Chain A
Amino acid sequence: MKNKYAALFLGWLVPGLGHFYAGRRQKAAVFFIAIMASTAAGLVFGGFRNVYFRLDHYQFYAEIGNGFLTLFASSVMGLIHARPIESMTDGGALAGIVPIADLYLMIAGLLNFVVAANAFDTVAQEARRQQ
């Protein structure tokens, strides 16, 4: 029997992986493509520097919904690019695009929370039906 908590964790870790685990492969593909496209757009527009943890960087709390990608971007990219992007945007060329990059990432993160919760629910419903 499949574990609903595993579906939740996998869905959080990689968009669509929870549904893949639950056996809904077409749904998994839709979620993976849609959320990854938004995440990739956010990372590219932000120059791979706009995902980082700091208590007052409220965007991170939405972006963490992306699981692995957010952890990777905030840890590895944070080590490569020591300075957060906000310190470079005052009047610079990136000043206009960073809020848009954050929008893409935050939307992707929040949507993935919903998708992961749906994967949890899918597995839980199937377990209930089998009983």
Chain B
Amino acid sequence: MTRLVHLLAVLIVVAAVTSGLKVDGGKTFLREFARSTGTLVAFYAGVGAVVFLAAWFLGHIN
């Protein structure tokens, strides 16, 4: 669980930098940052769910 918190912190840093790179002109940083964070967290949650289900299906999780 602690490692998940660290992963979330790293995701937030990555989202901040990528949204900082993207923002130029009219878009506000905070909106882009929220969108990037949401996308990254949703993507990781989706991938995590698929990996968990695959591991469970293959018998690695009892």
Does B9 contact A41, Cβ atoms closer than 8 Å? Answer: yes
Query: Closest Cβ of chain A: how far from B15's Cβ, in Å?
Result: 9
Does B13 contact A27, Cβ atoms closer than 8 Å? Answer: no
Does B14 contact A30, Cβ atoms closer than 8 Å? Answer: no
Which chain B residue has the least Cβ–Cβ distance from A16?
B20
Query: Closest Cβ of chain A: how far from B57's Cβ, in Å?
Result: 28
Number of interface residues of B (CB under 8 A): 13
Query: Closest Cβ of chain B: how far from A15's Cβ, in Å?
Result: 9
Does A115 contact B9, Cβ atoms closer than 8 Å? Answer: no
**Is A62 close to B, CB under 8 A?**
no
Interface 0/1 of A42-64, CB less than 8 Å to B: 00000000000000000000000
Identify the B interface with A (CB < 8 A). 3, 6, 9-10, 13-14, 16-17, 19-21, 23, 29
Identify the A interface with B (CB < 8 A). 26-27, 30-31, 33-35, 37-38, 41, 100, 103-104, 107-108, 111, 114-115, 118
